[in-house]
Amino acid sequence: MLFTIRCLDCGHAAPFMPRSMQCPNCGSQWREAEYNLQAVAQSFPAELQNRPFNLWRYRELLPIYEPNPTLYLGEGGTPLIKAANLGNMLGLPNLYIKDERQGPTSSFKDRQAAVTIAALKEGGVTEMVAASTGNVAIALSAYAARAGIKLWAFVTSLVPGVKMREIALYGSQVVKITGSYDQAKQVAAEFARQRGLYQDMGARTVTAVEAMKTIAFEIAEQLTMMEGAPPRSTANAPKWRTPDWYIQAVSGGMGPVGVYKGFRELKQLGMTERIPALAPIQAEGCAPMVDGWKKGMEKAEPVLSPNTRIETLATGDPGRTYTLLRKQVIETNGVFESVSDDDAFRAMHVLAKLEGISAEPAAAAAFAGLFKLVRTGAIKPTDTVVVNCTGHTLPAEQFLFDENWTRDVDYPSVMAQSNTPEEGLLAALNNVTPNRFSRIAIVDDSPDARRLIRRILQSQGDFEIVEASNGNEAIELVSRERPDIVILDLMMPEVDGFAVLDALRSKPETTNIPIIVATAKELTVSEKSRLQGQIQALMQKGDFLNDDFLDEVRSLIQ
């Protein structure tokens, strides 16, 4: 046998019984799977070559006696995506996104559900109870449907209706609790006790933590595929890469606890050299872990009434998981951080517009956290960073957009009012775009930077964009095209931004064109005074993340 279940309190080791919820010796619910890593090390790396890239590829390190292919839905094996645009914006060339939206039910809870339901099926369970902020219940429901297990899903009334319907669609019984998530858990526990049913125990569920490890295994394997073997790799030394950071939005914290254990086991197996710094991100309105962290406390004070619109992140009482996770964050030199709901929504927009990735607000919170950690300097430009894009189980939510997000053409009525079809079409399309676009010149020697600024402008409005890649070209272009506004980089070889500025200001035809300086450079006092009165706005490259940049552009164009 390759694994046993070790009690974290009394140290007792027992065989795994999927239905049993506590240590047979002391009754503790805090247990962990422990593998015979020496035995695993002999078979595991070699076996991998012949296995498909999905969660079961790491079966020696999962607490399942016999993986059951009849339950598979294609769990795990999600892509690791290089985020070039976002990385460029943040000055992080090695930024990666683990795209957990691409699992069978569109969140990383697929992993937890796949392993948990497989174990419960092995254990003969036919009916179970789970409390959920939405996504766990969706994932468990899908796998429970395949396994022939009836699920009672206790969710709070704040869980979006689309998620509740998804749970019901899979044949689970949705029980809607008006109250907090922690209260829903209490009701679920009492229901399970009265009925004698198995209850999912969140982060204390051995299979859930074990399933999350596969995220770490995949990241290490994928980074190695994408960046090559680590520098010091030899026949007997580490073969796989690890990132410097693992960033994830957390509610109960099971994800990072599992990911940590995954990286720890890889290190113990000699497959990697170290464990990445963990950065768990919480929503400001429900951030008991971040508060505990900032106060240096080993136990988190529960948040009794969470105040966040991101229900997925509304675990008010992380209990002992925080204490565990805190140790791991300290050990890895990581950090806990919180972000506001609005930051998360903004990040959701940025991620979609720059990387083509539509995430749900909970997942976007991790990206808002990333932005914050880059700004505070916790994350360095040379760091390799992986952000878990934990899910997108929703269609884009309506509250993200104000009224005018579509441009509407009423084809029959336009046609009725015109003499010819051509005239009608022209009239219709005038509704779609104005006749003249504001013209913007982007001056930057880096093609990546130009592409980024173009993308930001393009995704938010109608502009005609012209570009110059050096100072001389810029002076010539601006004199010829007379743009409505110039976005100017300072650091360019030969004729730099300061020289361009002087040239434009000295000619009557360009002297009044508004100029926004965009720079990645920390300006000295004397540089700042050179800009004084000459430009309309100064933007640090990171400022592009907030809406001020576009507001500035719009106001200057008017």
Ligand X SMILES: *Cc1c(COP(=O)(O)O)cnc(C)c1O
Looking at residues 361 to 380 of the shown chain, list those that interact with ligand X (rule: CB under 6 A): 362-363
Which of these segments, 301-309, 358-366, 368-376, 457-465, binds ligand X (CB under 6 A)? 358-366
* Strands 198-199, 150-156: pairing kind: unpaired
DSSP state of 286: B
Looking at residues 16 to 55 of the shown chain, list those that interact with Zn ion (rule: CB under 5 A): 23, 25-26, 28
Residue selected from 272, 312, 328, 358 as contacting ligand X according to rule CB under 6 A? 312
Assess 424 for contact with ligand X (CB under 6 A): no
Residue 7: contacted member of Zn ion, ligand X, none (CB under 5 to 8 Å, by partner type): Zn ion
Identify which of residues 20 and 540 has a Cβ nearer to Zn ion in the complex: 20
Residue selected from 109, 239, 372, 450 as contacting ligand X according to rule CB under 6 A? 109
Q: Are 240 and 208 in contact (CB under 8 A)?
A: no
> Closest Cα partner for 100 from 305, 373, 389?
389
Residue with tokens 């049913």: 197
Smallest separation, CB 252 to ligand X (Å): 4
Identify which of residues 68 and 340 has a Cβ nearer to ligand X in the complex: 340
Residue 250: contacted member of ligand X, Zn ion, none (CB under 5 to 8 Å, by partner type): ligand X
Distance CA 33, CA 10 (A): 14
Residue selected from 78, 116, 135, 172 as contacting ligand X according to rule CB under 6 A? 135
Residue with tokens 């009925």: 195
Q: Are 154 and 191 in contact (CB under 8 A)?
A: yes
Assess 206 for contact with Zn ion (CB under 5 A): no
Identify which of residues 301 and 464 has a Cβ nearer to ligand X in the complex: 301
Task: Please state at what angle helix 254-268 crosses helix 320-331, rounded to 10 degrees.
Answer: 50
Smallest separation, CB 84 to ligand X (Å): 24
Residue 23: contacted member of ligand X, Zn ion, none (CB under 5 to 8 Å, by partner type): Zn ion
Q: Work out the burial of residue 520: count CB atoms within 10 Å of its CB; fewer than 13 is exposed, 13-18 middle, 19 or more buried.
A: middle
Residue 255: contacted member of Zn ion, ligand X, none (CB under 5 to 8 Å, by partner type): ligand X
Residue 491: contacted member of Zn ion, ligand X, none (CB under 5 to 8 Å, by partner type): none
Q: How many residues bind ligand X (CB under 6 A)?
A: 16
Q: Is 131 helix (H, G, I), strand (E, B) or coil?
A: strand
> Closest Cα partner for 223 from 172, 272, 173?
272
Distance CA 466, CA 456 (A): 14
Q: Which pair of structure tokens corresponds to residue 431?
A: 């509704």
Smallest separation, CB 21 to Zn ion (Å): 12
Residue 252: contacted member of Zn ion, ligand X, none (CB under 5 to 8 Å, by partner type): ligand X
Distance CA 66, CA 118 (A): 9
Q: CB within 8 A of 352, min separation 6: which ones?
A: 358, 359
Distance CA 80, CA 152 (A): 34
Looking at residues 239 to 298 of the shown chain, list those that interact with ligand X (rule: CB under 6 A): 249-255
> Closest Cα partner for 312 from 397, 197, 425?
397
Identify which of residues 9 and 464 has a Cβ nearer to Zn ion in the complex: 9
Identify which of residues 10 and 491 has a Cβ nearer to Zn ion in the complex: 10
Distance CA 87, CA 97 (A): 10
Residue 28: contacted member of ligand X, Zn ion, none (CB under 5 to 8 Å, by partner type): Zn ion
Residue 17: contacted member of ligand X, Zn ion, none (CB under 5 to 8 Å, by partner type): none
- Interface ranges with ligand X (CB under 6 A): 107, 109, 135, 249-255, 312, 360, 362-363, 390-391
